[in-house]
Amino acid sequence: FIGNSTYLDDHGPPPQKVLPFPSQVVYNRVGKCGSRTVVLLLRILSEKHGFNLVTSDIHNKTRLTKNEQMELIKNISTAEQPYLFTRHVHFLNFSRFGGDQPVYINIIRDPVNRFLSNYFFRRFGDWRGEQNHMIRTPSMRQEERYLDINVCILENYPECSNPRLFYIIPYFCGQHPRCREPGEWALERAKLNVNENFLLVGILEELEDVLLLLERFLPHYFKDVLSIYKNPEHRKLGNLTVTVKKTVPSPEAIQILYQRMRYEYEFYYYVKEQFHLLKRKFGLKSHIRKPRPRPEFFIPSPLETEEPMDDEEDDEKWLEDIYKR
């Protein structure tokens, strides 16, 4: 790159490498961003298309020691290919430990909506069973379970303040300790990883388009995913997973949340913009019902996004019949 012009000068950025058939895919799913819906679809698709769906029964350990990273990467890398591995885990750099870097995919969601979904789901569960929240969070005290969301935010309870609110970015930033500190360093590293290691990061608000693009990019894994997703029988399952007793915080509390989550929003809007560029490239129009105000004026509706079905403290029953090899 000394003296003569570089490839970039002459040709612009190199074309993005989209492999026709990657045999190693990792979906390091972000909690409360629709991943339970996607994993249900993957179970059906793995049977239909004959790929190895590798899941984990660890749901509440996203950050790993160096030894744990090495062990997990070794276990994933030796799985029978083609495989799709999924787990709630912050980005893992396989090449750092001498492994082949797999193709990564993920889905994120409006950060305040994700936070609210998690807040009420931990307390009250969903329609699958009135008591399932008691099983998920048995040690939660009654006064904590019924803690008003506004009190939690305005009085700065740990659950409603940083670093707990800095949640999405570490999934893309990685395992470095600084990835958990709200700030520019983690944000920029997360963006870099999205560009270099993720084939697709979609947004839950446009899930059908996410599924369409996954089918386009990874047909061996996702062929027919949209028709399965739209099947009335499958949609019935989704209706059982809407979080119950969900309320919207006051405008004042929302303002405070936005302030605390400004890095999360910068990342969310960056990913959304990249996703829309990708959609336009493949001829998908963005169906926008009305112009969306910027965060400082926007109060999310609790039902604005399709309710996801997962939580980091997932019940084990869900894993009993997951297809494994």
> What is the distance between the alpha carbons of residues 240 and 235, in angstroms, rounded to a whole number?
9
On whether residue 160 sits in a domain, the answer given is: yes
Three-state secondary structure call for residue 80: coil
| Best CA proximity match to 90, nearest among 170, 206, 163 | 170
Among the listed residues 88, 220, 234, 287, the single catalytic one is 88
Please tell me the predicted confidence (pLDDT) of residue 100: 92
Range of the domain at 136: 24-284
- Looking at residue 121, what is its pLDDT? 85
190 token code pair? 């997360």
In this prediction, residue 247 carries a pLDDT of 84
Q: What is the CATH number of the domain that holds 55?
A: 3.40.50.300
Is 8 within a domain? no
Q: What is the pLDDT along the chain (325 residues), one digit of tens a residue?
A: 444 444 445 555 555 444 457 999 999 999 999 988 999 999 999 999 999 999 998 888 999 999 999 999 999 999 999 999 999 999 999 999 999 999 999 999 999 999 999 998 888 876 554 455 455 677 888 888 999 999 999 999 999 999 899 999 999 999 999 999 999 999 999 999 999 999 999 999 999 999 999 999 999 999 999 999 998 877 766 555 555 567 889 999 999 999 999 999 999 999 999 999 999 999 987 665 554 444 444 444 433 444 433 333 333 332 333 223 2
- Residue 30 and residue 271 in contact, taking contact as beta carbons nearer than 8 Å: no
The edge-to-edge listing of strands for the beta sheet with 83-86 is: 52-55, 83-86, 24-27, 103-108, 198-203
Domain-located, residue 320? no
Q: CA-to-CA distance for 38 and 207, rounded, in angstroms?
A: 10
Would 3 be classed as within a structural domain? no
Active site residue 88: yes
The reply to whether 19 falls in a domain is: no
pTM here is: 0.81
Six-digit token pair at 184?
């520019």
**pLDDT number for residue 3:** 46
Per the domain annotation, does 244 fall within a domain? yes
Structure tokens at 212: 């369409």
The two structure tokens encoding residue 243? 């979080």
Beta pairing partners, 55:
86
Domain count, the chain: 1
Q: Is residue 313 part of a domain?
A: no
Residue 181 lies in a domain: yes
CA distances from 208 to 42, 176, 284, 316 (A): 15, 33, 11, 28
Check residue 291 and give its pLDDT: 46
Coil, strand, or helix at residue 139?
A: coil
